[in-house]
Structure 1
Amino acid sequence: METPTQDMDVRWLYTQSQLKLREILPTNKTFDVIQISELVDPTDFISPNSVVLSVGIAFAETPDGLRDWAHRLADAGVIAIGFGSGLTFPQVPQALIDASLHLGLGLFEVPREIPFISITSSVRDEQTRRAGRLQQELLLEQERLNSIAISGFCETIPVEGRLVAERTTPLMEKIRSPAVQSDALQVFKSALAATVTWWISVNLLHSQLPFLAPWVALMTMQFTVYHTFISGIQTAIASVIGVGLSFVIGTYLDVNVWTFGLAMVIGLIGARVPKLRAEGIGIATTSIFLLASGFDDQQPLLYDRILEILLGVAVAIAINLIIFPPLRDQEANMVVGSLDRRMGEVLQKMADELAEKWNIDNADEWLEEINSINNDLEKAWHSVRFARESRRVNPRKIRIREGRPQPTDTSYESNLTRIDEGIAHLRHLARTLRDTPNIDSDWDPVFQQQWVYLMHDAGALLADPNQEIDPIRDRLSKLSSEMSEDQQLTSKKWPIYGSLLTSLFHLSALVDDAVATRKAEDKEHNS
């Protein structure tokens, strides 16, 4: 497990009295990353300038192997080691102390009652505090710069003011999101289509009903090119039927309250025709426009009204086809990715709370968040269907495909199916913890610490697949093997621990799939 920091001093850890860390070998170096590892050779997963936490499980039978282990860590750029006592070893082995002294590594002891997650959580909280302080300083600087700009002295803005511009506020992040940008672009295109058709109706066609073509254009404009085509056809047919109905009633029955009501009834019945259901209401609304605007003046202009309807449809389709035709793959990718991230955050939250004291209220909160993710899964399916439709009849699809590979329908569906399965396993895990009596006070300490680490690592990988974390499934298999050899576990504990291990094993398989998929997508994107 890896927790990024902001260039923190190892000595800061010793000032946190609640952690009860005991310094053995001092160091003045700063670290960038704090990691947990129980591998014999973790060098492939270790980052430079890191602190490594371990209880030495891999060296339970061969304590002298800690010398070579320390050398490998030093070669990988580790600056300090935190060793947990009271589990595998009653105290920090002398072999590790001698090797760390020889290599110039910092070394401290973590007492048994302090879970490693308490250390990583303290680091993360400090990081959040420092980031909040920096954000506050930036906000103050931004207010100062705004004051300077309002005063008309923009030339006095210092170089450090560029830092404010480079910081993206939550509001700007939301504005830059594909969904908001697509919506804003759609508003612009709808307004443009209505304005263009109105101008043509007034200045070129000299229409007596210049609102008809803009209204049809607004009815036609949709969020995808394909849907705009379909909507345009349906709107044109419905509106032409409405024009014809108005002229038939006005010509042969005269316009009065009874014939107006008859036109509405016929129009609304026509709106229920399956092929016109989406835009069929246009039959009734077009009849309202023509019958209520003075039918005697409109009667000779049947073909003009039809021309205006076709104008509105044609302009809407042309604008949506030419001006940045919407392609929703990026939005769908973000929605699918956010579900993975939220599942990972739930796993990490569960691990953090299980490492400390927790109660049923915590489990209820987990289940509430899991149900929220499940509800958003339905929205994700909608976004995927939307993305699939946006690629149909879209000229941008060809241009973008030449630049980079795009996700296929199969990849979307496989990702969402995987997430659906992950939600089921996550819900089962939370319910097992909630419904098992006294599990919070009857943990086996070795199982608790290692299983919670693995859960946190699985969540971290799911939230950010680019992290370098030891393989989860291999460590789970090792934990299962070690616990099966523990003769002190009662028959009551094994079914519970077996269920927890199985749920986490299934989740780790899905995590591996998610990591492989995201890395493959990144590779294709960068190629």
Structure 2
Amino acid sequence: MERVDPVRVVDLVQTVKTALAGGLAWWMAGVFDLDQAFLAPWAAVLVVHETVYKTVSRGSQQVAATFFAVFLAFGLGITIGTGPWSIGLVILVGYLIGQLRWVKEEAGTIATTGLVVIATGSIAQTDLLASRLIDTALGVAVGLAVNLVVWPPLRDRAAWSQAEHLPGELGAVLRDVAGGIGADLDPHDVKAWIRAIRKVDVHIDQAWRLLWQAKESGRMNPRRSQPTGVRELRKVLHQLEQAVADSLSMARTVARSAENRTDWDESFRERWREVARGTADAVDAEDVPRLEELGEELARMTEDFSQSSLEPEVWREYGGLLMNLRNVHDALTAAVQWNHEATPDKRRSKRFDDPREMLRRERQAGESRRRLSAARGGYSAEGERTPEHTQERTQG
């Protein structure tokens, strides 16, 4: 049975939650008979983000931006009217206010909301101005409530899932390179390798984004689950980034060799191809012992050819390919080991302790210590006087 991709699951759930927030906000706007009811679902939809922390942050910014926009438009409309100058100024000042750090994400909201307020003639109707603020605040509150109550997102499993695919992708490129090295190398093959390597690099960037979302998703999250393995995942991604750079260097070295029609030593070619192809196969099979054997073979190969009487130019080429392959092999080995050690049940640590639960357990432990001390005549398990008994004797 094919495993469900956590990235798609989280994205699908967020889509459903966004729709739920919009519908619920519209219903509540009808219940409260709001004048500009459409603003509530509008704000609710915009505020449901991939983490609770971002929902709170962007929601508060959106409310603040709406307040700024309404009062800015009202002030300009009263002082200079509702002509082109007021429209231009509300946009200009709105974007200038949006440079403030705590509303920087909503600079466009300030400008466009102010524009709408002036253009629709709402300045003359102060009740509509107040309604716009109330409707927006209601939508933000509904969006925040939905994101908090309905499966608050934790993005750690999505980050792990994205990273799991990377070693296999890089291994596939390594297999293609091993299969393509030969006297009849086609330059188009090298271009295809480079495109595939750059695609892996894009996927690594996606894993980094999910990793930062995973760190952020634990903040303000009522589920209190603490993402774990973040440090290990960061280390693996750094190694894979280096492996991508080495893979690109490897592909370009092979391409230059083909252009210069360099005659490769047949023994070197076959041993290098065997290690590269074997590494790719071992990554697919998640065979850590085999990867370790290939690492030893790569070390022996380096030793053998370093002692041979090769021309300096040839050895520079061989040495570069051996170093590239070693770095790629080491990164893939570390990634496979990490996948083995970090099984899904170990990727999320126990939940953050609820402060009330911690206090209750502390009181119970204190009661147990006092009862045990009383039973032993005021002595601890180590034979020392307990602080409680010492205090009682002093007061006596």
TM-score (normalised: structure 2): 0.76
Question: Contact (CA 8 Å) 2:171, 2:284: kept in 1 or not?
Answer: yes
Cα drift, residue 481 of structure 1: 4.2
CA distance in 2, matches of 1:194, 1:408: 35
Question: Contact (CA 8 Å) 2:152, 2:222: kept in 1 or not?
Answer: yes
Pair 1:474 & 2:302 matched: no
Question: Contact (CA 8 Å) 1:458, 1:508: kept in 2 or not?
Answer: yes
Q: 1:504 aligns with which of 318, 322, 325?
A: 325
CA distance in 2, matches of 1:255, 1:486: 85
Listed as ranges, the gaps of 5+ residues in structure 1 are: 1-165
Residue equivalent to 1:339: 166
Question: Contact (CA 8 Å) 1:341, 1:462: kept in 2 or not?
Answer: yes
Question: Contact (CA 8 Å) 2:51, 2:152: kept in 1 or not?
Answer: yes
CA distance in 1, matches of 2:82, 2:181: 76
Cα drift, residue 445 of structure 1: 3.0
Which digits, 9 at most, give the CA deviation of each residue in 1:167-197, with x for residues without a partner? x6xxxx8xx5333333332222222222222
CA distance in 2, matches of 1:212, 1:484: 72
Q: 1:518 aligns with which of 328, 339, 357?
A: 339
Pair 1:216 & 2:37 matched: no
Q: 1:201 aligns with which of 29, 54, 64?
A: 29
Q: How does 1:53-68 map to 2 (within 5 A)?
A: none
Residue equivalent to 2:220: 393
Pair 1:183 & 2:11 matched: yes
Cα drift, residue 316 of structure 1: 0.9
Residue equivalent to 1:446: 267
Listed as ranges, the gaps of 5+ residues in structure 2 are: 349-396
CA distance in 2, matches of 1:331, 1:322: 20
CA distance in 1, matches of 2:258, 2:119: 73
Q: How does 1:323-338 map to 2 (within 5 A)?
A: 323-338=150-165
Q: 1:429 aligns with which of 231, 239, 250?
A: 250
> How many equivalent residue pairs?
347
Which digits, 9 at most, give the CA deviation of each residue in 1:390-419, with x for residues without a partner? 222222342xx5xxxx44332232111101
Report the AA paired with residue 7 of structure 2: A
Cα drift, residue 257 of structure 1: 5.2
Question: Contact (CA 8 Å) 1:241, 1:283: kept in 2 or not?
Answer: yes
TM-score (normalised: structure 1): 0.58
Distance 1:300 1:343, change over 3 A: closer
CA distance in 2, matches of 1:433, 1:185: 46
Which digits, 9 at most, give the CA deviation of each residue in 1:114-144, with x for residues without a partner? xxxxxxxxxxxxxxxxxxxxxxxxxxxxxxx
Question: Contact (CA 8 Å) 1:366, 1:430: kept in 2 or not?
Answer: yes
Question: Contact (CA 8 Å) 1:343, 1:370: kept in 2 or not?
Answer: yes
Distance 1:187 1:297, change over 3 A: farther
CA distance in 1, matches of 2:105, 2:197: 35
Pair 1:295 & 2:122 matched: yes
Cα drift, residue 435 of structure 1: 1.6
Report the AA paired with residue 498 of structure 1: G
Q: Which has the higher helix share?
A: 2
Q: Which has the higher strand share?
A: 1
Question: Contact (CA 8 Å) 1:355, 1:452: kept in 2 or not?
Answer: no
Question: Contact (CA 8 Å) 2:236, 2:331: kept in 1 or not?
Answer: no
Distance 1:496 1:370, change over 3 A: same
Q: Which has the higher contact order (CA 8 A, sep 6+)?
A: 2
Report the AA paired with residue 381 of structure 1: W
Distance 1:526 1:388, change over 3 A: closer
CA distance in 1, matches of 2:323, 2:84: 72
Q: How does 1:63-74 map to 2 (within 5 A)?
A: none
Instruction: Report percent identity of matched pairs.
Output: 27
Question: Contact (CA 8 Å) 1:343, 1:462: kept in 2 or not?
Answer: no
Residue equivalent to 2:141: 314
Cα drift, residue 223 of structure 1: 1.9
Which digits, 9 at most, give the CA deviation of each residue in 1:332-386, with x for residues without a partner? 2233233222111111111122268423332333233223333443333223222
Aligned residues: CA RMSD: 3.2
Which digits, 9 at most, give the CA deviation of each residue in 1:22-74, with x for residues without a partner? xxxxxxxxxxxxxxxxxxxxxxxxxxxxxxxxxxxxxxxxxxxxxxxxxxxxx
Question: Contact (CA 8 Å) 1:327, 1:397: kept in 2 or not?
Answer: no
Report the AA paired with residue 220 of structure 1: V
Distance 1:356 1:241, change over 3 A: same
Distance 1:428 1:269, change over 3 A: closer
CA distance in 1, matches of 2:140, 2:153: 18
Distance 1:337 1:440, change over 3 A: farther
CA distance in 2, matches of 1:516, 1:273: 46
Report the AA paired with residue 423 of structure 1: V
Distance 1:450 1:260, change over 3 A: closer
CA distance in 1, matches of 2:136, 2:198: 47
Q: How does 1:159-178 map to 2 (within 5 A)?
A: 176-178=4-6
CA distance in 1, matches of 2:70, 2:210: 36
Question: Contact (CA 8 Å) 1:222, 1:228: kept in 2 or not?
Answer: yes
Cα drift, residue 227 of structure 1: 0.8
